[in-house]
Structures are given as C-alpha cells and as structure tokens.
C-alpha cells in the first residue's frame, strides 16, 4: 500500500517545546514537508528568529542560522548574496519582523533580495510573556496593554504586508491563516509559491501566516482558532496582496 502521509524527513522526530494549540508546530511542519517535496533539503538554509521559534533549528533537519532579534533579513541577505544557488528563508514573528526588525525587513524587501520570508503573525509577544506586538488588535488585552490596546496611546495594528506590497522590489505577498484545515492547505500552497519564486529567481516573496497563541490570548485552543476566523481576519484580511 502506498504511504500518503508520513513524518517529513526535514523534521526531526523530537517533541517540541510549544504550548498546546500553538501554530508554530504546524508552520514548521509545512516548511519541512515543502523542503522534502521540492527536493531542496541539501540546498536550504533557514534563518531562525528570536522569539518562541528561537530554536526552530532544533526541529528542522537542515542547515540553519540563529539571528539576533529582528536581524534575520540582514543575515539572509548576506547568505543569499554569497551563495545564490542555496535556498534561503527567514522565519520570523511579528515583534521580530515588524517592530525591532522593521528596518531590516523594509530594506531587504526594497533591495528585492531573492529570499523567502515566513512571517508568523499571532498579534502578541509569546516568548517574553504576552506583551503588545505591533500587530496586536485594538482593545486586545496584553501584559503591556492591561486595559486593551488604545489607538491614541499605542497606535494601530501595523499592516506590514500591505506596506511591503507597495515596494517594487517585492514580488509576492500572501496572507494566510492556520485556523482550519482548508486554510492550512492554502498556507502550504502559498509557502510553496514563495519557495518556487526563489528557485525561479523571481525575487522577494513573503507569506504572512495568522497563527494562534492560546496561552497569551487567554483562550483555549479551539476558541483561539475561532478568534482568528471571527476577529483577527477582519483586521488582517486573507488573500494575495501582490
């Protein structure tokens, strides 16, 4: 009988440290499946962020670099420039990519670096204990917005993907979600497109993935998925932006 579902070769067989209901495990697996399916395990170089996914390299079984908080795209820029035949991607959270690393993000995109960016948007800082992220929604309660995010004090949820879509150096941006099996399949297709763009030399490609953080949203895993579908998607509409 043909096996149609198995453990990806590019994903180590180890337990993860992620909380129950966290989206990182799914996103890691999608990347590992695609690295296998595209046959690029011997060429891929991942750049891990600072944040909950800091030890993503303990789960993926291919070459990886750590990066200082926010600097993943500076590091990826250099790796890709030195080794253009390798497939280089960054995996970054919202705080990493859209707060402390905004400068690196915008300029790597504007230079049109031929790399792939996997951007995990869970509207919160998870690793440090649930503080406000640039993508935190208005009225969302966090450790640093105990009364909820207020526009006049903390500004608005930052739509970095929409901003990047304006840049001529950016070739592909899609926002997807992990809140249902259908959306996970769409997410995988988008990541595949972003990798194929790099393989074909098309240029800077990013997939923004709305991902649940039940622990710091104060919801159970099931309700966290519903919250993405009913609330988060209204602020961050899904679909191709460029």
Partner 1 sequence: MSGNEAIAEGAIQAGCQFYAGYPITPQNELTAYMALHMPEKGKIFVQAESEISAINMVYGASATGVRAMTSSSSPGISLKQEGISYIAGANLPAVIVNIMRGGPGLGNIWPAQSDYFQATRSGGHGDYHCIVLAPASVQESFDIMYRAFNLADQYLTPVMILGDGMLGQMMEPIEIKNPKLKIKNYTKPWALTGAKNREANIVKSFYMIEGDLEKANLRLQKKYKVIQEKEQAYEETNVNDAEIILVAYGSMSRIAKAALKTLRKQGKKVGLIRPITLWPFPRNAFLKFDKNVKYLAIEMSYGQMVEDVMLTVRDKTQVNFLGRSGGGVPKEEEIIRKVNKLL
Task: Tell me the C-alpha distance between 62 and 10, whole Å.
Answer: 7
Q: Is 162 in the site for partner 1 (CB under 8 A)?
A: no
Task: Tell me the C-alpha distance between 28 and 86, whole Å.
Answer: 19
Identify the DSSP state of 40. Answer: -
Among 27, 30, 75, 228, binds partner 1 (CB under 8 A): 75
Q: Is 43 in the site for partner 1 (CB under 8 A)?
A: yes
Q: Is 169 in the site for partner 1 (CB under 8 A)?
A: no
- Residues 85-114 contacting partner 1, CB under 8 A: 86, 103-104, 106-107
Burial (Cβ within 10 Å: 0-12, 13-18, ≥19) of residue 229: middle
Asked if residue 122 lies in contact with residue 94, where contact means CB atoms within 8 angstroms, the answer is yes
Task: Tell me the C-alpha distance between 186 and 206, whole Å.
Answer: 14
Q: Is 45 in the site for partner 1 (CB under 8 A)?
A: yes
Near partner 1 by CB under 8 A, which window of 60-68, 188-196, 209-217, 225-233?
A: 60-68
Q: Is 42 in the site for partner 1 (CB under 8 A)?
A: yes
Q: Which residues bind partner 1 (CB under 8 A)?
A: 41-45, 47, 54-55, 57, 60-68, 71, 74-79, 81-83, 86, 103-104, 106-107
């Amino acid at each position: 009988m043909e096996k149609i579902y198995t453990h990806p070769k590019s994903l180590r067989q180890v337990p993860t440290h992620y909380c129950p209901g966290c989206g990182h495990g799914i996103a890691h697996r999608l990347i590992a499946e695609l690295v296998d399916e595209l046959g690029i395990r011997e060429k891929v170089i991942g750049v891990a962020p600072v944040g909950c996914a800091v030890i993503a390299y303990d789960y993926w079984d291919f070459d990886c670099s750590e990066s200082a908080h926010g600097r993943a795209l500076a590091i990826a820029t250099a790796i890709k420039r030195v080794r253009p035949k390798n497939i280089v991607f960054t995996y970054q959270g919202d705080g990493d990519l859209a707060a402390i690393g905004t400068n690196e993000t915008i300029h790597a995109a504007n230079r049109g670096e031929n790399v792939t960016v996997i951007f995990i948007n869970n509207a919160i800082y998870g690793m440090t204990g649930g503080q406000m992220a640039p993508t935190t929604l208005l009225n969302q309660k966090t450790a640093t917005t105990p009364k909820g995010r207020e526009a006049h004090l903390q500004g608005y949820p930052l739509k970095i993907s929409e901003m990047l879509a304006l840049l001529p150096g950016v070739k592909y941006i899609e926002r997807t979600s992990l809140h249902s099996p259908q959306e996970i399949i769409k997410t995988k297709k988008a990541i595949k497109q972003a990798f194929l763009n790099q393989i074909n030399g098309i240029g800077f490609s990013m997939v923004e993935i709305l991902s649940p953080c039940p622990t710091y949203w104060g919801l159970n895993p099931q309700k966290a998925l519903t919250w993405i579908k009913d609330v988060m998607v209204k602020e961050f509409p899904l679909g191709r932006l460029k």
